[in-house]
């Protein structure tokens, strides 16, 4: 597209001065990027022009379009901020500067813009998962900071990402997959949050195309085979509904609504169906002049066609968090097949397609900002405040996916105020959403008038009342991911902050107690925690204990890291020769120092499992018997010359582990224990119990894969009401 074609696309509403401003930006960007090329060999300026065109399709203001043309000049050319301020004013220069801040760090976001040989940004080897995680988290933080200043900056950045996705095919396949997944995880949901449907659906389809090319091709090929027939059906349905509306004097514009490939894939995943079983691929949209007519059309459709139960949503009376409004319904059409219908006004349609962009005209003029625009901006600024509370990058990414971009539920306070929460949220999450202090003092909850446990999963429409104490703080158990008491990253951040404010000595002591209790419960010994200090970005062992005590470092992560490093050290050891694989039930991956092909079996007295410190004893005729190193029988052996060094290889099976649960006896106790066991990948081998007065001791033998799984199981068992403790039985 040359300059004349671009200028011809400018809206007639632009004044001569505004047109001149955009042409001036065109000239500066074209000259500044002269001689530069993209990874696909095209002149770099085609990227700037493409971004500006996307913004024009959003009916953006002249300042935004000019900033789109100039958005990379500070990053890739000698042009300075002072030059932009002098030539275009502070507003446009500010937009370009903010977009540059967002783009500056994450290398992957610009991988399709520069050929690897021409920039030091392209790594020689594929980046590690940790590096990608760090870059992605930093991208999020910078985008949220930009929102705090002006939400339009993020829209420019998203137009930049959309154009890059349209031209991603020139990159290597592994880079395409990574960038495609990043787009699905962050940019498409952010477009949805901003209410820009035009960005959302295209980012989703393009991200899906590169992140999962096999499934994308499968669905697109299936759609292509049925395209002609589906279009004929849609044309007939549109004509029929148009006739129905005319008979009732309803003025409406009716059109087919395309079903996008990623939305079809999501439906296939959600309903666990193949493409052939997805029947509701036909959809239409009805646009009318006012809200009253929306409901009239809904009545007409339901009167003539059978509604499908559970498929009606009124987003006019209760609009979505991104201010999206429409009536959604699904009916059985006259041909016996499902039909999806959206009904909305023209204003709702404008808001749905353009989101915050639909309100830019208010921002550009002296007119007060619209309420919807302010709600969107305030919603995004709330994310900024939340992101500053989260220090761990992985927590930030996980929180974005669950708290912000995931499906939502809407619950009610006792005063019938609506509270928005991530799907899967618990009463504790609700309490922290209402007020931080209520969250700290939460001790119970009533949902719809009935007492519920604190791990209860809230559903849309629930009315929640939080039971609090006058004084006190959160429980450290709330941070235990195995218990599922808190699902929102925002809530976890507030709980961690509370514990951080406690005295360091108190957290240090509590961290030591937690570690001692967990190691005792798991039967672990001889673990030197100094080896794991560097794994958690702390300087000393005391810092590690403090992190555990205040909740920054979860016990689950520590146990998992111990297991990972144990396996890594085994893999790096040259002196350990793995035994010949065996088919018997007693064989496992145990390496015997200096010997190859030795038969091994596990001692019944101490029942070792991966993660335990172990020692081998050479028997007469039965190979090597594996004991735990603290097994009394092994310690009493007189013939120490027959003791041999052994270590775990890679665990490939489960191991029987004896456990003991001490609890106050009550009705339903065994049912609760069975429920926990059945929800874990653990198989119950044996069970016995003894009772004494009101106490019951339950002895179990459970097949477990590793120490991390054992830790999670014991934590969940100990959290059952009336259970005093759950431990692994020590040998002897």
Q: Which range among 78-82, 172-176, 224-228, 504-508 shows the weakest confidence by mean pLDDT?
A: 224-228
pLDDT for 582 equals 33
The arithmetic mean of pLDDT across residues 577-587, rounded, is 34
Q: Which range among 447-456, 459-468, 521-530, 564-573 shows the weakest confidence by mean pLDDT?
A: 564-573
154 part of a folded domain: yes
374 part of a folded domain: no
pLDDT above 50 (res 484): yes
Cβ count near 621 (within 10 Å): 5
Could you tell me if 46 and 26 lie in one domain?
yes
| Strand locations in 632-692 (E) | 643-644, 646-648, 655-664, 683-692
Q: Which residues contact 400 (CB under 8 A, 6 or more apart)?
A: 140, 186
Could you tell me if 27 and 85 lie in one domain?
yes
Report the DSSP beta bridge partners of residue 467.
444
476 part of a folded domain: yes
Compute the distance between CA of residue 80 and CA of residue 199 in angstroms, rounded to an integer. 30
Compute the distance between CA of residue 87 and CA of residue 92 in angstroms, rounded to an integer. 10
Q: Give the CA distances from residue 323 to residues 156, 215, 352, 445, in Å, rounded to whole numbers and listed in that order.
A: 21, 32, 8, 30
pLDDT above 90 (res 70): yes
The three-state secondary structure class of 507 is helix
Instruction: Provide the pLDDT confidence category of residue 130 given band limits of 50, 70 and 90.
Output: very low
725: DSSP letter? E
- Find the DSSP H helices in 105-260: 129-149, 151-166, 173-182, 188-193, 197-211, 213-247
363 part of a folded domain: no
pLDDT for 497 equals 82
pLDDT for 57 equals 85
Could you tell me if 430 and 491 lie in one domain?
yes
Could you tell me if 615 and 538 lie in one domain?
no
Tokens, residue 246: 């005319």
| Strand locations in 333-448 (E) | 338-345, 408-412, 418-422, 442-447
Q: Answer with the one of 500, 515, 543 that is the final residue of a domain.
A: 500
The arithmetic mean of pLDDT across residues 534-551, rounded, is 83
Could you tell me if 637 and 625 lie in one domain?
yes
pLDDT for 83 equals 92
pLDDT for 105 equals 42
Task: Give the per-residue SS3 of 35-71.
Answer: CCECCCCCECHHHHHHHHHHHHHCCCCHHHHHHHHHC
Could you tell me if 176 and 37 lie in one domain?
yes
Q: Count of alpha carbons within 13 Å of 728, Cβ hemisphere only?
A: 28
Burial class (CB in 10 A: 0-12, 13-18, 19+), 501: exposed
Q: Could you tell me whether strands 723-728 and 695-704 are parallel, antiparallel, or unpaired per DSSP bridges? A: unpaired
pLDDT above 80 (res 608): yes
Compute the distance between CA of residue 162 and CA of residue 190 in angstroms, rounded to an integer. 12
pLDDT above 70 (res 594): no
pLDDT above 70 (res 426): yes
Compute the distance between CA of residue 246 and CA of residue 261 in angstroms, rounded to an integer. 33
Could you tell me if 632 and 617 lie in one domain?
yes
pLDDT, one tens digit per residue, over 357-393 is 555 443 444 344 445 545 555 555 455 444 444 555 5
Instruction: Provide the pLDDT confidence category of residue 149 given band limits of 50, 70 and 90.
Output: low
pLDDT above 50 (res 4): yes
262 part of a folded domain: yes
Instruction: Provide the pLDDT confidence category of residue 522 given band limits of 50, 70 and 90.
Output: confident
Q: Which range among 301-305, 431-435, 526-530 shows the weakest confidence by mean pLDDT?
A: 526-530
pLDDT for 86 equals 92
Tokens, residue 425: 């949220």
Instruction: Provide the pLDDT confidence category of residue 641 given band limits of 50, 70 and 90.
Output: confident
CATH number for the domain spanning 434: value is 3.10.20.30
Residue with tokens 């500066």: 28
Could you tell me if 510 and 638 lie in one domain?
no
Could you tell me if 72 and 135 lie in one domain?
yes
Q: Answer with the one of 572, 601, 632 that is the final residue of a domain.
A: 572
Q: Answer with the one of 469, 500, 531 that is the final residue of a domain.
A: 500
b/e code 549-567 from CB counts within 10 Å (16+ = b): bbbbbbbbbbbbbbbeebb
Instruction: Provide the pLDDT confidence category of residue 322 given band limits of 50, 70 and 90.
Output: low
Burial class (CB in 10 A: 0-12, 13-18, 19+), 40: middle
Cβ count near 244 (within 10 Å): 18
Could you tell me if 526 and 439 lie in one domain?
no
pLDDT for 398 equals 55
Structurally, the chain folds into a number of domains equal to 6
pLDDT above 50 (res 132): no
Compute the distance between CA of residue 110 and CA of residue 124 in angstroms, rounded to an integer. 15
pLDDT for 399 equals 52
Compute the distance between CA of residue 605 and CA of residue 415 in angstroms, rounded to an integer. 61
Most confident listed range (35-49, 106-120, 145-159): 35-49
Could you tell me if 429 and 480 lie in one domain?
yes
| pTM recorded for the entire structure | 0.53
The three-state secondary structure class of 128 is coil
pLDDT above 80 (res 564): no
Please tell me which residue, 210 or 559, carries the higher pLDDT value. Answer: 210
Could you tell me if 593 and 702 lie in one domain?
no
The arithmetic mean of pLDDT across residues 287-293, rounded, is 92
Percent of the chain with pLDDT over 90: 20
Residue pair 397/381 in contact (Cβ under 8 Å)? The answer is no
- Write down the mean pLDDT value for the chain: 78
pLDDT for 466 equals 94
Q: Considering only CA atoms, which of 177, 186, 264 is closest in space to residue 214? A: 177
Sign of the Cα pseudo-torsion (293, 299, 303, 307, in order) = positive
Report the DSSP beta bridge partners of residue 342.
285, 328
pLDDT for 103 equals 64
Task: Give the per-residue SS3 of 274-312.
Answer: CHHHCCCCCEEEEEECCHHHHHHHHHHHHHHCEECCCCC
CATH number for the domain spanning 228: value is 3.30.460.10
Residue pair 650/567 in contact (Cβ under 8 Å)? The answer is yes
pLDDT for 150 equals 66
Residue pair 442/468 in contact (Cβ under 8 Å)? The answer is yes
159: DSSP letter? H
In terms of residue numbers, what domain contains 522?
A: 504-572
Compute the distance between CA of residue 156 and CA of residue 134 in angstroms, rounded to an integer. 23
């Amino acid at each position: 597209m040359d300059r004349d074609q671009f200028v011809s696309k400018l809206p007639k509403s632009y004044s001569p001065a505004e047109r001149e401003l955009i042409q001036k930006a065109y000239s500066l960007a074209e000259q500044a990027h002269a001689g530069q090329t993209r990874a696909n060999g095209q002149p770099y300026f085609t990227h700037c022009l493409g971004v500006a065109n996307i913004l024009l399709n959003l009916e953006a203001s002249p300042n935004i379009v000019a900033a789109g043309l100039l958005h990379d000049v500070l990053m890739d050319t000698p042009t300075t901020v002072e030059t932009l301020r002098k030539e275009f004013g502070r507003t446009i220069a500010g937009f370009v500067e903010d977009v540059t801040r967002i783009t500056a760090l994450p290398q992957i976001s610009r991988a399709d813009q520069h050929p690897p040989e021409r920039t030091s940004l392209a790594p020689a080897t594929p980046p590690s998962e940790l590096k990608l995680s760090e870059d992605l988290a930093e991208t999020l933080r910078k985008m949220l900071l930009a929102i705090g200043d002006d939400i339009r900056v993020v829209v420019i950045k998203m137009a930049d990402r959309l154009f890059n996705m349209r031209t991603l095919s020139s990159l290597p396949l592994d880079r395409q997959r990574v960038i495609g997944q990043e787009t699905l995880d962050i940019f498409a949901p952010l477009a949805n949050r901003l209410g820009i449907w035009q960005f959302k659906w295209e980012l989703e389809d393009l991200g899906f195309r590169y992140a999962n090319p096999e499934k994308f091709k499968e669905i697109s090929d299936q759609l292509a085979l049925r395209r002609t027939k589906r279009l004929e059906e849609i044309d007939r349905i549109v004509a029929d509904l148009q006739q129905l509306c005319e008979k009732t004097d309803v003025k409406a514009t009716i059109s087919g609504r395309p079903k996008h490939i990623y939305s079809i894939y999501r439906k296939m995943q959600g309903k666990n169906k193949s493409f052939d079983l997805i029947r509701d691929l036909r959809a239409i949209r009805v646009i009318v002049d006012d809200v009253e007519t929306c409901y009239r059309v809904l009545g007409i459709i339901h009167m003539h066609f059978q509604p499908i139960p559970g498929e009606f949503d009124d987003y006019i009376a209760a609009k979505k968090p991104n201010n999206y409004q429409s009536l959604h319904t699904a009916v059985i059409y006259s041909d016996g097949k499902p039909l999806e219908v959206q009904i909305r006004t023209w204003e709702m349609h404008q808001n749905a397609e353009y989101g915050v962009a639909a309100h830019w005209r208010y921002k550009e003029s002296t007119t007060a900002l619209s309420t919807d625009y302010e709600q969107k901006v305030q919603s995004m600024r709330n994310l900024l405040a939340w992101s500053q509370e989260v220090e761990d990058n992985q927590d930030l990414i996980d929180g974005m996916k669950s708290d912000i971009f995931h499906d939502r539920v809407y619950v009610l306070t006792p005063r019938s105020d609506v509270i928005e929460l991530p799907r899967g949220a618990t009463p504790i999450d609700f309490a922290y959403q209402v007020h931080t202090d209520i969250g700290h003092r939460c001790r119970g909850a009533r949902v719809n008038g009935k007492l519920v446990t604190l791990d209860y999963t809230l559903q849309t429409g629930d009315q929640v009342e939080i039971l609090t104490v006058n004084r006190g703080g959160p429980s450290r158990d709330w941070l235990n991911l195995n218990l599922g008491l808190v699902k929102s990253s925002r809530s976890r951040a507030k709980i961690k902050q509370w514990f951080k404010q406690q005295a360091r000595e108190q957290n240090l002591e509590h961290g030591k107690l937690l570690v001692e209790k967990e190691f005792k419960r798991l039967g672990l010994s001889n673990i030197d925690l100094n080896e794991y200090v560097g794994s958690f970005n702390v300087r000393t062992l005391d810092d590690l204990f403090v992190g555990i005590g205040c909740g920054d470092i979860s016990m689950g992560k520590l146990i998992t890291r111990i297991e990972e490093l144990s396996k890594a050290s085994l893999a790096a050891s040259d002196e350990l020769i793995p035994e010949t694989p065996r088919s018997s039930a007693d064989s496992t991956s145990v390496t015997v120092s200096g010997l190859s092909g030795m038969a091994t079996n596990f001692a019944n007295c101490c029942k070792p499992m991966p993660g335990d410190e172990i020692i081998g004893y050479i028997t007469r005729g039965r190979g090597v018997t594996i004991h735990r190193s603290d097994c009394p029988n092994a310690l009493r052996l007189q013939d120490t010359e027959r003791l041999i060094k052994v270590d775990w290889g890679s665990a490939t099976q489960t191991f029987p582990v004896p456990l003991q649960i001490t609890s106050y006896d009550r009705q339903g106790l065994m049912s609760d224990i069975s429920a926990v066991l059945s929800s874990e990948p653990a198989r119950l081998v044996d069970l016995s119990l003894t009772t004494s007065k009101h106490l019951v001791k339950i002895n179990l033998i459970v097949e477990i894969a590793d120490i991390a799984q054992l830790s999670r199981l014991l934590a969940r068992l100990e959290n059952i009401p009336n259970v005093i403790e759950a431990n692994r039985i020590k040998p002897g």
